[in-house]
Amino acid sequence: MKRILCYFAALVVALGLSSCMEKEDTPPYFVHVESVSFGIEKLSLPETKTYRLQILFTPEDCGNKKVTWYNTEPEVATVSAEGLITAKAEGVTRIGIETSDMRRTAEVEVTVTPFLADNPITSIVLSATSHDFLVTDEPFAVTATITPSDATIPTLEWVSSDEAVARVSQEGLITPVSHGRAVITAKANDGSKQMAECQVTVAGVKDRNYDGADEYYKLIYYPVNIEVTLEDGTKATQTWLDRNLGARKVAESKDDYEAYGSLFQWSRKADGHEKTAWTSATAGVLVNGIAGMNERVPNRADAGHNQFIPTNAAPNDWAVQTSTQETGLWGGKYIDYEWHASLADETQSSNPCPEGYRIPTVNEFLAMGGAILNMTMKYNTKYNLDDPNTIFAESVLHLPSSGHVVYNTATADTKDGNARGVYWANSSAAKAGDNYNNSNRMLFMSGQVIVNPYQRSNAYSVRCIRDVPLETTSLED
C-alpha cells in the first residue's frame, strides 16, 4: 500500500511540473544594438540642397532604436530629428548619432560647396525695414519683392535673430513674443547670398496665462538687468522681471502690498492656487482657499483643482508622485545649485514664468543677492544685516517683503507680510528617508539673509529670470 501511495504522489508531482512547464511562457529575449551606420562616411552637398541620412542598425530587429544627434558646425549644415541634412553655408561639419542602447555611434563628414542658380536673385526689397510692437499686438506681415522676377529659385528663407523676442513664419508673418530687439532676415535660397532685414522691437513681457479669460493674469512685466559676480570672479549680466509674478506694479517700498503678487507652492504651475488678494501690508488671503489637510494629489503636473494644499505630516509635499519628487517640474535637480533644464524640457512643464523666463537657480540667487548687498554669499549661510528688507526693496529689482503661507496652515491667510521676503529657487533639497520634502529658497527678514532649503508645501513669491540674458533692456539703438 505504501508503495502504491508513493507512486501516486510521484505521479501527481510529475503531472504538476508538466502542467507548469506547459503554461509558462519563455520571456522574450531583448536584442541589443551591436553597431549602427549611415552607409556613407562622406557627403558633399551644394548650398541650399538637402539629403536624408538612412540609419542602418545591426541587427535590424534590435529592441531600442532611439538615437541622439550631434552636429559640430550647425552654421554649415543642419540636421533634423529625422536625419534630413540641409546645406547652409560653405564649409565642413561632422554629423552623427549615438544610440540610447549600448552607446553605439555613427558619423558622416559633410562638405558644403558653393551653389549659384542659373538665374540668381540680384536684390530683395522688404515692405518694411523696421517695426515696433507692444507684446500684446497682433502679428505683422512683411512682404518681399525680388529681382529679377523670373529668378530660377524665387523662394526665401525667413529667420529671426532671437525667437524669444519675435518669431517669423516662412511667409514673412512676424509675431511678437517678449521684450527685446530682434532682426528678421529674408535670405535667398539660390546661392546668391542676397538678403534683406527688418529691425523689430517688442515692448513688455506677457504673463504666461495672459491670453486666457482670467483677468488676474492680464499682466505685462518688463525686464531689468543687473550685473553680478560669478563664483570664479567674472562679471555677468542677469535679466530679471521687474516685479513678482501676479504683482500689479513695481514695489516702491518693502511694505508696498500692491506689489506683493502671488504665492506659489514649490514646483506647482499657475493653476489658481497661487492667486492672492492683499488688503494691507500685513494682510492677504489665498483667493481660492485651501484643500483639506494632507489631501495630497497624485499628479504634480496637474493638481486637479485650484486650492493650496496644506500638510502637517511627512514628507510635507503637496503631491504624492514619487517620479517627480527629486527634480520637480520647475527645471531643477536635487542639490544641484547651478543647473537648470532647457525651457523645452519636460521638467519645465509647470514653469509659471512668461515665455523665455524660468525659476532662478540657487547660484543665480546667490549672485544676485551678493550684487545687491555688495558681498559674496554662500549657500546655507546666514548673513546678519540690520534691515535687508529695505535694501532689497530699494534695489534695482525692487523685491518686496511679501510674506508667505505656511505648509501646515489651517486658514487661507498669509503670514509675515512686511516682515520677510521669501522667493523660490528651482532645485529640491534635503531628504527625509526616501522622500524629497524640502526645496531651496532665498529668505530675507530683519537681521538676516540666507539661501537655504525649507518645506516645499509652503507658498512663496516667484521672481523670474530670463533664460538667455538681454544685452540691454533698452529698445533704442
Looking at the structure, do residues 192 and 220 belong to the same domain, yes or no? no
Looking at the structure, do residues 281 and 408 belong to the same domain, yes or no? yes
Mean pLDDT of 381-402: 97
Cα torsion angle, 163, 164, 168, 170, sign: positive
Instruction: Judge whether residue 25 has pLDDT over 60.
Output: no
Looking at the structure, do residues 386 and 441 belong to the same domain, yes or no? yes
- The total of structural domains in the chain comes to 3
Q: What is the pTM of this model?
A: 0.82
Higher pLDDT, residue 205 or 434? 205
134: phi then psi, degrees, rounded to nearest 5: -85, 150
Residue 269 lies in a domain: yes
Higher pLDDT, residue 11 or 58? 58
Looking at the structure, do residues 100 and 159 belong to the same domain, yes or no? no
Q: What is the percent of the chain with per-residue pLDDT over 90, rounded to a whole number?
A: 86
Residue 15 lies in a domain: no
Looking at the structure, do residues 272 and 165 belong to the same domain, yes or no? no
Residue 263 lies in a domain: yes
Domain around 166: 123-203
Say which CATH number the domain at 60 has: 2.60.40.1080
What is the band of 18 on the pLDDT scale with cuts at 50, 70, 90? Answer: very low
Residue 30 lies in a domain: no
Q: Note the pLDDT of residue 323.
A: 86
What is the band of 301 on the pLDDT scale with cuts at 50, 70, 90? Answer: very high
Residue 137 lies in a domain: yes
Contact 53, 38 (CB under 8 A): yes
Looking at the structure, do residues 66 and 170 belong to the same domain, yes or no? no
Looking at the structure, do residues 291 and 190 belong to the same domain, yes or no? no
Buried b (16+ CB within 10 A) or exposed e, 270-287: bbbbbbbebeebeebbbb
pLDDT, one tens digit per residue, over 107-157 is 999 999 999 999 999 999 999 999 999 999 999 999 999 999 999 999 999
Residue 408 lies in a domain: yes
Query: Of 416, 407, 408, whose CA–CA distance to 453 is shortest?
Result: 407
Expressed in percent and rounded to 5, the helix, strand and coil fractions of the chain are 10, 35, 55
Looking at the structure, do residues 102 and 235 belong to the same domain, yes or no? no
Contact 357, 337 (CB under 8 A): no
Listed residues 78, 113, 148: the one ending a domain: 113
Euclidean distance between CA atoms 343 and 382, whole angstroms? 31
Looking at the structure, do residues 308 and 401 belong to the same domain, yes or no? yes
Instruction: Judge whether residue 35 has pLDDT over 90.
Output: yes
Euclidean distance between CA atoms 184 and 162, whole angstroms? 9
Looking at the structure, do residues 359 and 319 belong to the same domain, yes or no? yes
Listed residues 113, 141, 176: the one ending a domain: 113
Q: Which residues pair with 79 in a beta bridge?
A: 85
Looking at the structure, do residues 189 and 239 belong to the same domain, yes or no? no
pLDDT, one tens digit per residue, over 222-275 is 999 999 999 889 999 999 999 999 999 999 999 999 999 999 999 999 999 999
Cα angle 47, 48, 49 (rounded to 5 degrees) comes to 95
Instruction: Judge whether residue 79 has pLDDT over 90.
Output: yes
Cis preceding-peptide flag for 315 (omega within 30 of 0): yes
Instruction: Judge whether residue 10 has pLDDT over 50.
Output: no
The average confidence (pLDDT) of the chain is 92
Q: Note the pLDDT of residue 141.
A: 98
Q: Note the pLDDT of residue 434.
A: 65
Residue 14 lies in a domain: no
DSSP string over 234-279: -EEEEEEESS-TT-SS--SSTT-GGG----EETT--SSSTT-EEES
Higher pLDDT, residue 323 or 125? 125
pLDDT, one tens digit per residue, over 84-113 is 999 999 999 999 999 989 999 999 999 999
Mean pLDDT of 42-68: 94
What is the band of 437 on the pLDDT scale with cuts at 50, 70, 90? Answer: confident
Residue 377 lies in a domain: yes
Listed residues 79, 113, 147: the one ending a domain: 113
Terminal C-alpha separation, the chain = 108
Looking at the structure, do residues 271 and 236 belong to the same domain, yes or no? yes
Q: Which residue has the cell 497624485?
A: 298
